[in-house]
Structure 1
Amino acid sequence: MNEDRIKGQWKQLTGKLKARWGKLTDDDLAVAEGDSKYLVGRIQERYGIARDDAERQLKDFDSRL
């Protein structure tokens, strides 16, 4: 993910992130504040998927923005 773009638009993106990954909590997103590595870890943990899969999903999400 483009870290600068994410940090600049974080508040707008939190709603889209929660719509895509509903198991992410407000606290998860507040701590992440645009940190894609943290976000990948949270997606991996909440959904019980491999890190590679979480990274791929986040990359796909980013490319659709």
Structure 2
Amino acid sequence: MNEQLLKGRWNEMKGRVKEKWGRLTDDELEQMDGNMDQLIGALQQRYGLVQEEARKEVNAWLRTH
């Protein structure tokens, strides 16, 4: 469900993603196009998180939005 929500509302949520994870570039956000796996991978690279940590952060963030 979270992945479908992210994909379906990506244009609305991009700004909020950028606020939460400011190290992500606009180009990265455009290329992701709401793909949760790409978001998780980018968080791993930019923030040095392991995959499960990044996935938990994204899911927790999605529950609040």
**Alpha-carbon distance between aligned partners in 1 of 2:34 and 2:10, rounded to the nearest angstrom:** 6
Cα shift readout 1:5-51 (whole Å, capped 9, x = no counterpart): 22221111000000000000011111110100010000010001111
Corresponding residue number in structure 1 for 2:35: 35
Q: Which runs of 4+ in 1 moved over 3 A?
A: none
The 3-state SS of whatever aligns with 1:12 is: helix
AA aligned opposite 2:12: Q
5+ residue gaps, structure 2: none
Identical residues among aligned pairs (%)? 35
Does residue 1:14 correspond to 2:24, yes or no?
no
**How does the TM-score come out when normalised to structure 1?**
0.90
Query: What is residue 25 of structure 2 aligned with on the other side?
Result: 25
In 1, are the aligned partners of 2:2 and 2:59 still within 8 Å (CA)? no
Report the counterpart of residue 64 of structure 1 in structure 2: 64
